[in-house]
Amino acid sequence: MKNSVLKIGAPCVLVASLLTACGEEKTAGIEPKIYTDSLFAVMKADRTNYTKLIVKRLGPNGANVIKPDEHWQDMDIGAPLPAQMFRAGAEGVAELTDEFTYSLQSLWPINAQNAPHTEAEKNGLKYIADHPGENFYGEEKLGDTTYFTAVYPDVAVAEPCVACHNAHKDSPRSDFKLGEVMGGVVIRVPL
């Protein structure tokens, strides 16, 4: 996968302080791009596997009783959709750490809360839609904090993704194809 660095601010490094036995302070760190790329790799693998190994097998054509559904909580035999599992993971991480946040967003969201809110999110989602296979990296200031913001393409990895989005009554698009960018994963790290 190609990566595109779109610079919005000066390059930066996440820095962790290390104290030696002599009391000297040394710094070590990891570049935000490497950090967010690594986080995204885990998220993408988990989401792809849930979609292909669980949802695809349980979906409308599956022989099992459990059905993935948008309103799974109202069902005795429902299971969350991939986007809902992703959101649950993001909410769980937010309860554990403030080192990073992530969300699933789209220029064509079914759920309005998945629409971009900041200029960096809007620019990033447009960039990855216009440049398949590339990522977007930048910085943005929200309140008093500057963030490294990365946006990664969220690609339709299985037919149930395409079918659900194309048929959903609230979907602004009905022409998604397998392998197409449907939105993006936004990862934000405070600098």
pLDDT of residue 134: 97
Domain count, the chain: 1
Tokens for 23, please give them.
């009391």
Assigned domain for 1 exists: no
Q: How far apart are CA 117 and CA 187, in angstroms?
A: 14
Assigned domain for 178 exists: yes
Assigned domain for 4 exists: no
pLDDT of residue 86: 84
| DSSP output for 4-51 | ----SS----EEEEEE-TTS-EEEEEE-HHHHHHHHHHHHHHHHHHII
Assigned domain for 93 exists: yes
Assigned domain for 7 exists: no
Assigned domain for 142 exists: yes
pLDDT of residue 124: 98
Give SS3 for 133.
coil
Give me the domain span that covers residue 151: 14-190
pLDDT of residue 6: 40
0.75 surpassed by pTM:
no
Assigned domain for 184 exists: yes
Average pLDDT of the segment spanning 3-7: 42
pLDDT surpasses 80 at 71? no
Assigned domain for 5 exists: no
pLDDT of residue 147: 97
Q: How far apart are CA 68 and CA 55, in angstroms?
A: 6
| Average model confidence (pLDDT) across the chain | 81
pLDDT of residue 176: 93
